[in-house]
Structure 1
Amino acid sequence: MKKLLFFATLLLLVGCSSDNESEYQNIPINYQVPSNFPPLAYNMENNPLTEKGFELGKKIFYDGRLASDGVVACGFCHIQEDAFTHHGHTFSHGVGDGIGTRNAPPIQNMAYQTQFFWDGAADHIELLSMAPISNELEMNGNIIDIITMMQNDSEYQKLYRQAFDNGEINSENMLKALAQFMTMLTSSNSRFDKYKRNETGGNLTQIELDGYAIFNQKCASCHATDIFTDNTFRNNGLSINPQIQDNGRYRVTEQEEDRYIFKVPSLRNIEKTAPYMHDGRFYTLEAVLNHYASGVTNTQNLDPILNNNGTLGIPLTNDEKTKIIAFLKTLTDNEFLTDARFAEF
């Protein structure tokens, strides 16, 4: 009888050990750069993608407890079906109905970018999350309270143990997990992508092809590569908005040449991310192109590309505008917008 009890106990211990080992398995994610994309800007050697790291980052992204009101998560202002923007909101709403001062940019292909936010206030994907989390008008979170909350949460305890070798629940690992989640938010399967890669479903109509040719001639110098941004900061001739007095990148650098310049946004999923510009002043793509054709203002530091010997803007006929918009809509990536891996539930 004692021998039977001994072996039963041994089997139970072995079973528990096996369960624990499976709990700690963390399978690497083999991230592949799409063949039509430029090289990654983010060096993942110090934060390799793993299934549990991604899972942890996703949980943090959608957890309203990071905000002071327990409601406004990262995903509150960055909604998947809208390419992780706050579609329809000129400025996003934060805790206590606080209103921000800029339009929420999309979260997509972040690992291919070198600077983030309209003014480039963050230059590393692992650092950018701290700005919205701590901003009083956005999440108004307290990092000490956030880490304490996670340390007292059994699911977070388990995920941190699985995701990181040291298993520590701290701000460094939190930001690394968020970076893993954002790295995976890669939009690369639009109809345009399939056209560029000669894949099934990549047929473009003649009007779309014409629009692509016009785009390459008149727009691609700023919206470069298949990421559709050159990661620079420019003054695109918007009249100064007196309501918000936004000095653009000057707020970061305090260099006069950076006053009123803003980051060139990616145009991917642009059909889904209205309103447009840093202050959300344009609600349609037609309005954006009308600005470039006839609404450019010769403000301080206007980008030289928009001033051709005193002629401001980019000459565009109505037919050209129609064709460019047709092309821009081929950048909508419905697979990305509906991918269950990125959904909150």
Structure 2
Amino acid sequence: MNRIFTIALLATVIMGCTPEKVSPVADPYVFTTPSNFPKASYTFENNPVTKDGFELGRALFYDPVLSSDSSIACANCHQQVTAFADPVHRFSKGVGDVNGVRNAPAIQNMAFQTHFFWDGGANHLDFVPINAITSNIEMAEKLVNVLKKLERGKTYPEKFNAAFGSKEVTSQKMLYALSQFMCMLVSSNSRYDKYVRGEGEILTSQELNGLSLFSQKCSSCHATDLFTDGSFRNNGLDASFALDSGRQRITEISGDRGKFKVPSLRNADVTKRYMHDGRFNTLKEVLDHYGSNVIVSETLDPILNSNGVKGISLSEQQKLDIISFIKTLTDTEYTHDKRFSNPFLK
């Protein structure tokens, strides 16, 4: 009798409770533009992200089978913990330990970009992997060989079937899958993001002062909440560019000599080294360059040579404040998101 009474009492209590509202969980495989970001540029109408397509791209990104001797994966030079930059090498390392000629840039917010690589050599994300796969100083492989290896793989035909409805392995499907993975690599949950979106984050007085200084002195190039305007500029690193002509290599326009793509400063504190050739090791060195070491050349950006004044006037305290602000752009959710981790390491 006591047991029946207890059960009845519990039922009454449970039925009398007002259930808490449960927020719907966002689909982790649907691309969403953060509210403080501009509109995405990627052609999702041609290649919408799906879970199976994303997972295929993720596997390909981490699989060294894409290289000629199966020793180099995309992830070798693009490691998640450093926002998919290279934390070890100044220059990219390819098959046979060959040195590249540029520093591997971070991979983040790719869906919002229209040009890729330091010289803008690709104008669509779908074409980006081709460069790394076929370059003799990177993966040193031919696309046709990659497809044959994937066809022979135990799991890839089924993965292609799940993603695209056919076991046929084609270059378009492979590139689409890699793009789906890279499109989802969105970094938008730094302390700064949560501050500007009013999500309860508070910046310190030094960080706020750094933000103000950044807006005055840096945002002409590092614009919008992507922290890049996507342009190509000569930022006064050298007087001549015999070793690397930058954007001119692509356009063959003399006025583009020595110009390189403006990188995003998101996660800049963890993506060291800096500049296209990785010459600087710290953010302080970067600001020292802009403060007093800008070199004048024919194509130097006018912002850095205004009225005969070279560079950007910065006191030592201002440099510290700007660095303090830049550190608020570090997105640890991004660098530790399990969706983007190596699927072969369980």
Same fold (TM over 0.5): yes
Match 1:292 to one of 285, 290, 293: 290
Number of equivalent positions? 317
* 1:250-269, Cα deviation, whole Å (9 max, x unpaired): 11111101110000000000
Tell me the equivalent position of 1:111: 111
Whole-Å separation in 2 of the counterparts to 1:168 and 1:127? 20
Tell me the equivalent position of 1:75: 75
| Secondary structure of the corresponding residue to residue 127 of structure 1 | helix
Whole-Å separation in 1 of the counterparts to 2:140 and 2:239? 28
C-alpha spacing 1:241/1:303, structure 2 compared with 1 (3 Å): closer
Match 2:315 to one of 317, 320, 340: 317
Whole-Å separation in 2 of the counterparts to 1:52 and 1:137? 31
1:153 deviation in Å? 1.5
1:299 deviation in Å? 1.4
Q: Is the 8 A contact 1:28 1:48 kept in 2?
A: no
1:308 and 2:319 are equivalent in the alignment: no
The one-letter amino acid of 1:110's match is: M
Q: CA RMSD in A?
A: 1.3
C-alpha spacing 1:248/1:96, structure 2 compared with 1 (3 Å): same
- Structure 1: runs of 5+ lacking an equivalent: 1-26
* 1:265-302, Cα deviation, whole Å (9 max, x unpaired): 00000000111000100000000000000000001200
Taking structure 1 as the reference length, the TM-score comes to 0.90
Q: Is the 8 A contact 1:260 1:300 kept in 2?
A: no
Tell me the equivalent position of 1:236: 235
Whole-Å separation in 1 of the counterparts to 2:285 and 2:319? 10
The one-letter amino acid of 1:212's match is: L
Whole-Å separation in 2 of the counterparts to 1:184 and 1:30? 8
**Alignment map for 1:1-345 (pairs within 5 Å):** 29-200=29-200, 202-240=201-239, 245-344=243-342, 345=345
Q: Is the 8 A contact 1:132 1:139 kept in 2?
A: yes
Whole-Å separation in 2 of the counterparts to 1:71 and 1:224? 38
Taking structure 2 as the reference length, the TM-score comes to 0.89
The one-letter amino acid of 1:99's match is: N
Whole-Å separation in 2 of the counterparts to 1:54 and 1:155? 15
The one-letter amino acid of 1:134's match is: T
- Structure 2: runs of 5+ lacking an equivalent: 1-26
Q: Could you list the structure 1 runs, at least 4 aligned residues long, displaced by more than 6 angstroms after superposition.
A: none
